[in-house]
Chain A
Amino acid sequence: MSEQSVRASRLPRIPAVPLAIGIGILIGGLLVLASGGDPVAAYRAILVGALAPSNWPNTLNWAVPLVGMTLVAALPLRGGMVNLGGDGQLVIGGLVAALAALYLPLPGPLLIAAAILCAMIASGLYASLAAWGETRFGIPMLISTLLLSYPAIGIASYLVGFPLRDLTTGLAQTRMIPEAARLPVIAGPLNIGLILMVVVAAAVVFFDRRTVAGYELRMRGQNAKFAGYGGVRLASQQVRVMFASGAIAGLVGAILVLGSLYRYQDGALLTPGYTWSGLMAALLAGGAPLGAIAAGLFFAGLQTGGFAMQRETEIPRVLTMVLQAVIILFLAIRHGVGRKSS
């Protein structure tokens, strides 16, 4: 009985995204207008700031961590799981990368590789802890991933605030990492972190479309009971997926520390809010990797454009965050309508 009513009330999904973006732009424009600004100028500043060829490096540089954190959220989401612990995993990755770069006695390229690898493994293990807690003890991952972030952030903060602090500055941060451990620069602000992220994104898309494990994860997302009945080992799958998700967060942390900050600084990885923008982008695409990457790029453009708008006009960049929020809200309404009747 309910099956049929679902079919009748489910609205087509594809137009939902452009519609939500349109409504977001409309509401944002009205806000600008109401506060005495010029919406056209504001949007032009955003567009130019994000998409003018001279601004590409900035946009891409912002997109690397944001798309990375999008994949962190999208991968578990593809299987119907939620990883809210991106912040903690990001911080662990960044800190471990900084420490490896500072203390491992290895020559240049090896040092970089080792630092990245250590960061990925550490964050991956930390994320799989939440998965293990759910499969073994039934602690919902939705809660545990989020809660596990706080001790990670707190401990990292303590470590760089006291035992590992760079005493030459007044800030809670480690010493600068050696030149040899810094990611090679491509051009301007861009470093090989961009290439690494492109490779990871391609790998996730390939995994999703072409591998047996990707198929099993997709089926879990569509109906976990069906996947279990069909012989997918749900518990070990959950741990593996969360390891991969955490490892990508670790990579993002490593890229930020080795590629642009050159040290681990308390709070520096979290202030831009990559985790939450990434989570929203992943939700926007329902976990589908290509869509999530596109959404991540869109948000990166929006946010970089926001900085430009703030410089060019008197309109604060918080407008772009409003846009982002409105778009998500309207998409959530559409999702909600479909969910409720099923």
Chain B
Amino acid sequence: MTIELEATGIVKRYGPLLANDHVDLSVLRGEVHAVMGENGAGKSTLMSILYGMQAPDAGRIVLRGTEMHYRSALDAIGAGMGMVHQAFKLFNSLTVWENVVYGMEPARGVFIDRRAAAAKVAALAERYRLQVEPNAVVGKLSVGVRQRVEILKALYRDARVLILDEPTAVLTPQERDGLFDIIRHLTADDRTILFVTHKLHEVMAITDRVTVLRDGKVVDRMVTSETSPREIIRAMTGRAVNLTVEKGAAKPGAVVLQARGLTVAADGGKPVVDHVDLSIRAGEIVGIAGVAGNGQTELIEALTGLRIPDGGSVAIHGVDVTGVDVERHRDAGLAYIPEDRATTGTALTASAADNLAMGFQRKPPLAKGRLLDGAAVTAHAKKLIARFGVKIGSEQLPVGTLSGGNLQKVVVARELSHAAQLLIAEQPTRGVDVGAIEFIHGQLVAERDRGGAVLLVSAELTEILALSDRVLVMFDGRILAELPVAEADEETLGLLMAGRVGEAHLKDGTEAA
């Protein structure tokens, strides 16, 4: 097979940050090539360089045997590159064909040849089985169809290499399958796809080869058919996979969290969370495994009061908290480590003392009536910083300067110190160094042994397997299966996470819902 696109020694530096550190990428003609990596691994930077949006500090790009020096994305487009961004770049008030031909309109004198334009777009859509009505107004189309318009735009400019940046992040499973069909038609026509994603099962499903980035460097290149999700995870995170956690048997007590028929509706179509029943007991860790985007985020939002569910009920420690605000959830006994520590879990510009006080500000000793006791706030922060080993110069410093692991420790310290009945931990170790991971895992087990009920949501199967006493698998908005951790292994969970219940050999004691 011939090499379609080759990048060698790509370096891109932003101030002190080396976003791309001598990245080599080689893509064969007609293949689907996955570029994987955690957030901040340098995927987006690399793609923007390949698409001519940014110039590399060093390195060369060779497209079909010719070395390229792009001055802008227009040069790259001219050379046969196309890109579908995560956030679509479309005119919502214009029709499909107007969007597609924009900038390259077939003209008749000074006028646009509307009929020819629409016909051309229709023919293109037909050829690659992109079901789009050329005269529809883009603003009225669903997200999946808009993405097809973006692909059409690139094809209209005869893109030979198409970069898809997290293309499935916004799609429903059905739309995603449709996209995969389109990708197959494109590669059959010898077009090349660069597929940027961090969703493992999609990589396994559609790609031919994988390049994995970590901290701006290429850490591994694999042939999809010869690798496993486990190996890809290991390459992406650089973690030793055997992060085992010492823990004894669980002693489950009374039910702490009870959800019945919990439903979160989507804008038209299938609910994102579909009649989920859950019960978490004191003294156990229940893990929710699932590929990101199967409703976990929305489920947690509905359980914590950040989102009002469209159906069903939630009770914490016997108190019905359906549809009430976060504060009443917390009063009933909720502590919550959110998925995103920087946008939800902390205020980056506020001091560590202020961050650690959140949730405690209305109760003594921090509150004295309606006044806040500044000395108590400081003492509280100092105590937690010492106990959880947060590396920070002073509790008065803003937390935005902390590393990911330290910032996460601030969140974990604050939420664990509530000693709440229920702890919901969402991706508690994402983007955190190994030392902090072990510490946080230890704390979660200690929370369980103290008699707390812990609900753990994680995209890392190893984490789920290491910590959970019971595992629930979430797929397509539903709890697909529930199994004791002893009967869960990576293969079974992986199949369940892909929704393939039939192939997962479920043993006795395992329920498939």
Using CB atoms and an 8 Å cutoff, list the residues of chain A in contact with chain B: 1, 3-5, 7-9, 210-216, 218-219, 222-223, 225-233
Contact (Cβ within 8 A) B401 A7: yes
Contact (Cβ within 8 A) A218 B330: no
> With an 8 A cutoff between CB atoms, is B40 at the interface?
yes
Using A230-B359, A231-B327, A233-B325 as known contacts, say yes or no to A4 and B14 having CB atoms under 8 A apart.
yes
Contact (Cβ within 8 A) A226 B14: no
Interface residues on B, range: 35 or more
Contact (Cβ within 8 A) A1 B370: no
B336: chain A residues within 8 A (beta carbon): 229
Contact (Cβ within 8 A) A232 B401: no
> With an 8 A cutoff between CB atoms, is B228 at the interface?
no
Max chain A Cβ within 10 angstroms of own Cβ: one of B14, B304, B330, B342: B14
> With an 8 A cutoff between CB atoms, is B66 at the interface?
no
Closest to B44 in A: A1
Kindly state the separation between the CA atoms of A3 and B341 in the bound complex, as whole angstroms: 13
**Which residue in B45, B358, B401 is a CB contact (below 8 Å) of A230?**
B358
Closest to A209 in B: B374
Contact (Cβ within 8 A) B326 A228: yes
**Which residue in A8, A211, A219, A231 is a CB contact (below 8 Å) of B16?**
A8
Closest to A206 in B: B371
B327: chain A residues within 8 A (beta carbon): 231-233
| Shortest Cβ distance from residue B146 to the other chain A in the assembled complex, whole angstroms | 24
Using A4-B17, A8-B16, A229-B336 as known contacts, say yes or no to A222 and B349 having CB atoms under 8 A apart.
yes
Residues 269-307 of chain B, each 1 if its beta carbon lies under 8 Å from chain A, else 0: 000000000000000000000000000000000001010
Closest to B325 in A: A233
Contact (Cβ within 8 A) A1 B372: no
Kindly state the separation between the CA atoms of A5 and B12 in the bound complex, as whole angstroms: 13
B330: chain A residues within 8 A (beta carbon): 231
Using A1-B40, A210-B371, A215-B361 as known contacts, say yes or no to A231 and B326 having CB atoms under 8 A apart.
yes
Kindly state the separation between the CA atoms of A222 and B40 in the bound complex, as whole angstroms: 24
Contact (Cβ within 8 A) B358 A228: no
> With an 8 A cutoff between CB atoms, is B94 at the interface?
no
A228: chain B residues within 8 A (beta carbon): 306, 326
Contact (Cβ within 8 A) B362 A218: no
Using A212-B361, A233-B325 as known contacts, say yes or no to A219 and B370 having CB atoms under 8 A apart.
no
Using A4-B16, A229-B326, A231-B327 as known contacts, say yes or no to A215 and B347 having CB atoms under 8 A apart.
no
Closest to B326 in A: A231
Residues 239-261 of chain B, each 1 if its beta carbon lies under 8 Å from chain A, else 0: 00000000000000000000000
B326: chain A residues within 8 A (beta carbon): 228-231
| Shortest Cβ distance from residue B398 to the other chain A in the assembled complex, whole angstroms | 9
Closest to A210 in B: B371
**Which residue in B306, B342, B350 is a CB contact (below 8 Å) of A219?**
B350
A232: chain B residues within 8 A (beta carbon): 327
Contact (Cβ within 8 A) B354 A218: yes
Kindly state the separation between the CA atoms of A130 and B45 in the bound complex, as whole angstroms: 43
Closest to B358 in A: A230
Kindly state the separation between the CA atoms of A59 and B16 in the bound complex, as whole angstroms: 50
> With an 8 A cutoff between CB atoms, is B346 at the interface?
yes
Contact (Cβ within 8 A) B344 A1: no
Kindly state the separation between the CA atoms of A213 and B361 in the bound complex, as whole angstroms: 9
Contact (Cβ within 8 A) A229 B345: yes
B372: chain A residues within 8 A (beta carbon): 210-212, 214-215
| Shortest Cβ distance from residue A338 to the other chain B in the assembled complex, whole angstroms | 10
A9: chain B residues within 8 A (beta carbon): 15
A selection of 23 A-B contacts at a CB cut-off of 8 Å is: A1-B19, A3-B342, A4-B14, A4-B16, A4-B17, A5-B14, A8-B16, A9-B15, A210-B371, A211-B370, A212-B361, A213-B370, A215-B357, A222-B349, A222-B350, A223-B349, A225-B344, A226-B343, A228-B306, A229-B336, A229-B345, A231-B325, A231-B329
Residues 431-474 of chain B, each 1 if its beta carbon lies under 8 Å from chain A, else 0: 00000000000000000000000000000000000000000000
> With an 8 A cutoff between CB atoms, is B367 at the interface?
yes
Residues 337-379 of chain B, each 1 if its beta carbon lies under 8 Å from chain A, else 0: 0100011111111100010011101100001001110100000
Closest to A229 in B: B344
Kindly state the separation between the CA atoms of A219 and B354 in the bound complex, as whole angstroms: 8
Kindly state the separation between the CA atoms of A215 and B330 in the bound complex, as whole angstroms: 18
Kindly state the separation between the CA atoms of A223 and B306 in the bound complex, as whole angstroms: 15
Using A3-B342, A5-B15, A230-B359 as known contacts, say yes or no to A212 and B348 having CB atoms under 8 A apart.
no
> With an 8 A cutoff between CB atoms, is B9 at the interface?
no
A-B pairs with the 10 shortest C-beta distances?
Answer: A231-B327, A222-B347, A230-B358, A223-B347, A8-B15, A222-B350, A226-B347, A1-B40, A231-B330, A4-B17
Contact (Cβ within 8 A) A226 B346: yes
A3: chain B residues within 8 A (beta carbon): 342, 348, 400
Kindly state the separation between the CA atoms of A5 and B13 in the bound complex, as whole angstroms: 10
B344: chain A residues within 8 A (beta carbon): 225-226, 229
| Shortest Cβ distance from residue B376 to the other chain A in the assembled complex, whole angstroms | 12
B348: chain A residues within 8 A (beta carbon): 3, 222-223
Kindly state the separation between the CA atoms of A210 and B342 in the bound complex, as whole angstroms: 26
| Shortest Cβ distance from residue A334 to the other chain B in the assembled complex, whole angstroms | 16
Contact (Cβ within 8 A) A210 B358: no
